[in-house]
Chains A and B, each alone.
Chain A
Amino acid sequence: MTGDRVIRVLIADDEDMIRTALAALLRLEDDLDVVGECRDGETAIAEAARLRPDVCLLDLEMPGLDGVDTAARILRTVPSRCVIVTRHARPGVLRRALGAGVDGFLPKSRPADDVAAVIREVAAGRRYVDPEIAADALSDERSPLTDRELDVLRAGARGETVAEIAAALHLSAGTVRNHVSSVLGKLGLASRQQATIHARERGWI
C-alpha cells in the first residue's frame, strides 16, 4: 500500500483458532505488522499501553471486559484507534461502541483482506461501520419503556427484591411495584424476570 509506514496492530480475541489465523493472514500484508496478541480485555489494555499500537483489533465477546469496554479504556490512555469485530452484534452495541469512540466495526465473517482494508481505513483516520451491522442496529426494536421503568429493571436485574430496588433508587416499594406492573403491561409479560430478559436481549438495559 503506502509503503512508507507499517501499521502496528494489536489483536485481542479469546478464540485461539480465530486469533492466530487472523494474525497469520494479516502478517502476510506488507504494510501490517501484528505486534501483539492477547486473549482478554485486561491484557489488551496492558499490552496497548506497553506496545502503543496504531490499531487495536478487539473481539466484542471476550470473557470479563467486552470489546467495547476494553476499547473505551484503551482510548483513554493510548492514542490508538480501535476496531471491534464480532460474530453477532447484539442490539445497542454499535451505539455503545460509537459512543466509546470506536472507529471500526465489522463482523468476524469478513475475509482477512477486508479486515486489512478496514485497518488501513481506520489507521488513515477514517471510520468504517459494516453495512450489515448498521442494518441490524437500525432494525433494533425501540424500547416502549420510560427511563424510570428501565432504571427499575436495571436495578433488579440480578434478582434483587422489590425492597432492594426501592432502596437503591430511593423510591417507595409501592412506586417500584407500580413501575414493574406498568412494564409487564407494556411488554405483555407475566414476571419481572421475563421482562429483564426481554429488555436485556434487546439491549435496552
Chain B
Amino acid sequence: MSTVPRNDETAPIRTPAATTHARDVRVTWWYTAGSLVVFQLTTLFMWLLALLYREPPLPSAAAIALFVAGAAVSVAAGVLLLVRYRVEPVDDAEDHRAGVPWMLLGASAAAALALGVAVGSPLLAVTTAAYALCLVRWQGGIRFRLVLLLTVLILAVWFVEATRLNPDAYAGPVTSAAVFGALLVPITATSLWWWDVVRELDRARRAEGRLAAAQERLRLASDLHDLQGHHLQVIALQLELAEKMLARDPDAAADQVRAARGSVDEARRGTRDLAARFRGVPLPDELANAVDLLRAAGLRVRLDVAEDAAEAPADVLGPVVRECTTNVLKHGGGAEASLSLLRRDGAWVLSIGNDVRGETSPVGDGAGLAGIAARVGAIGGTMDATASGDRFVVTVAVPAGVLS
C-alpha cells in the first residue's frame, strides 16, 4: 500500500464553495425579479384604486373587466420577459434565443392599450408599455438611450395629461399612481443593470477558478515532464550499459536490466504520486465509496458515520479505510461487512469488520497493517486487530484534534 506523505506544496486542492456562490447569485436574482413584479403589481393596484375612487360617474363593469384583463396580461408578459432575461446565455450557446421577443412585447403593448383605455389615461398605457421594453436585454448602448427616451416620454405624457387632458383627476389617488408608474421604468432599468453586474461578477469568479486550474495543470505538466525525463534518461543509460556488458559479463548485464525495471517502477510511482495531488476526498465520502464497492461485490454492508466525521484526520484514517476495504474485497467470499467512524471520549474510532478471516495473499501484500499501526502510533493513537470466531475487526482510535 503506497501512502505517500504529502508536503504542503502538493496538498490536495480543495475546490471553493462554488455551490454557496451559486446559491447567492440565485437569491439575488429572485430578490431582483420579485421586487420588480411586486412594484408593478403595486403600481397597477394604485391605478385600480384611482379608477374605483374617482369622482362619479363610477366606471362601468366593462372598464373594470378591461382593466383586470390588461393587468393580468401585462403582469404575465412581464414575468415571462423576466424569465427570459434570466436564462439568456452566460456562455451556454444552447439556450441562446437571439432576437427580440416580439410576441411578448406585442402582448404587453396590447395590455398597455387596454389599461390605458380602461382608466382613460395615456400615461398608464405608456408606462406599462415602457416597463415591458425595459425587460428586454437590448444590445450594448441601446438600453441607456431607450430608458432616457422613455423617461422623457413619460414625463411629457404626464405633463400633458395632468395639465390638458384630465387636470381635474390629478388630485388624489391618481397622482400617487402616476408617480409609481413613472418610477417603474428607472427602477426596472437599474435593478436589471444591478443583476447584470452581479452576473458579470459571478462569471469573473468562475473565470478565476478556471484560470487557477489551468495554472495548476501547467505546473503539473512541467513537473511530469521533469520526472519522466529524468527517469527515461536513467533507464536509457542502464539499458545501454546492459547491452554493452551482455557479451562480456551476462550476470552484470542482467543486474542492469533489473535495475532498469526498478527505475521504471520508480517512474511509475512518481507519476502516480503526482496524480494523487489532485485526489483526496473527505473521510465520509471515502467510507461511502467503500460501502458502494463492497455492495457491488455482493456483501451486505452496515455503515455508521458520525455527522462531523469530515473533521476526523483523513490522512491517518484514510489509509486504514483503503487497506481494510482492499482486504475485505480481496478475500472475497464474505457475506457481510460493517464500517463505522464515531467520536468516543475525545477520540475518533474507526472500526471495520467482516466475516472472513484474512489470509495473506501472495501478491502485493506489503506491510499494510503494520505500516498503518506505525503511523497511527506516531500521533498517539492505537490500532487493534481482533479475530473472534469467524469475525475479523480492525479498530483504530486516534485522539480528536490532531493534525498529523
Contacts and interface: CB of A to CB of B under 8 A. Distances in A.
Given A128-B363, A142-B281, A191 B91 contact: yes
Interface stretch (B38-46, B106-114, B242-250, B327-335): B327-335
B364 A126 contact: no
Contact of B289 (A139, A185, A193): A139
Nearest to B285: A142
Nearest to B18: A188
B163 interface: no
B19 interface: yes
Given A103-B332, A132-B272, A95 B19 contact: no
Interface string A68-98: 0000000000000000000000000011101
A127 B331 contact: yes
Interface in B361-376: 361-364, 366, 368
Contacts of A114: 363-364
Interface string B313-340: 0000010011101100111110000000
B268 interface: yes
Interface in A120-152: 120-121, 126-132, 134-142, 144
Contacts of B2: 132
Interface residues of A, number: 43
B374 to A, nearest CB: 17
Interface residues of B, number: 53
A142 B288 contact: yes
Interface string B1-24: 110000000000001001101110
B18 A187 contact: yes
B296 A188 contact: no
B90 interface: yes
Contacts of B329: 98, 127, 129, 134
B123 to A, nearest CB: 36
A190 interface: yes
A121 B296 contact: no
A10 B1 CA distance: 29
B209 interface: yes
B156 interface: no
A98 B325 CA distance: 13
A118 interface: yes
A129 B22 contact: no
A121 B359 CA distance: 12
B271 to A, nearest CB: 10
Contacts of A192: 92, 94
Contacts of B321: 138
Nearest to A96: B296
Given A126-B331, A128-B330, A138 B293 contact: yes
Contacts of A117: 362-363
A95 to B, nearest CB: 4
B296 A161 contact: no
Contact of B286 (A111, A118, A126, A139): A139
A3 interface: no
Contacts of B331: 126-127
Contacts of A187: 18
Nearest to B286: A138
A162 B97 CA distance: 13
Given A95-B293, A138-B289, A144-B19, A127 B330 contact: yes
A141 B317 CA distance: 17
Contacts of A184: 22
A95 B292 contact: yes
A167 B331 CA distance: 46
B206 interface: yes
Interface string B332-368: 1100000000000000000000000000011110101
Given A103-B332, A114-B363, A131-B364, A188 B326 contact: no
Contacts of A126: 330-333, 361
Contacts of B91: 190-191
Nearest to B207: A190
Interface string B248-275: 0000000000000100010010001000
Given A95-B296, A142-B285, A190-B92, A128 B19 contact: no
Of the listed residues A94, A118, A135, A161, the one surrounded by the most CB atoms of chain B closer than 10 A to its CB is A135
8 contacts: A95-B296, A98-B293, A114-B364, A127-B330, A129-B329, A135-B322, A141-B285, A161-B94
The 8 closest A-B pairs by CB, nearest first: A188-B18, A127-B332, A185-B22, A191-B92, A98-B296, A134-B326, A99-B296, A98-B297
Interface of A: 94-96, 98-99, 103, 109-111, 114, 117-118, 120-121, 126-132, 134-142, 144, 161-162, 177, 184-188, 190-193
Given A121-B363, A131-B366, 9 more contacts: A98-B296, A98-B298, A117-B362, A131-B322, A131-B364, A134-B325, A135-B322, A138-B290, A139-B280
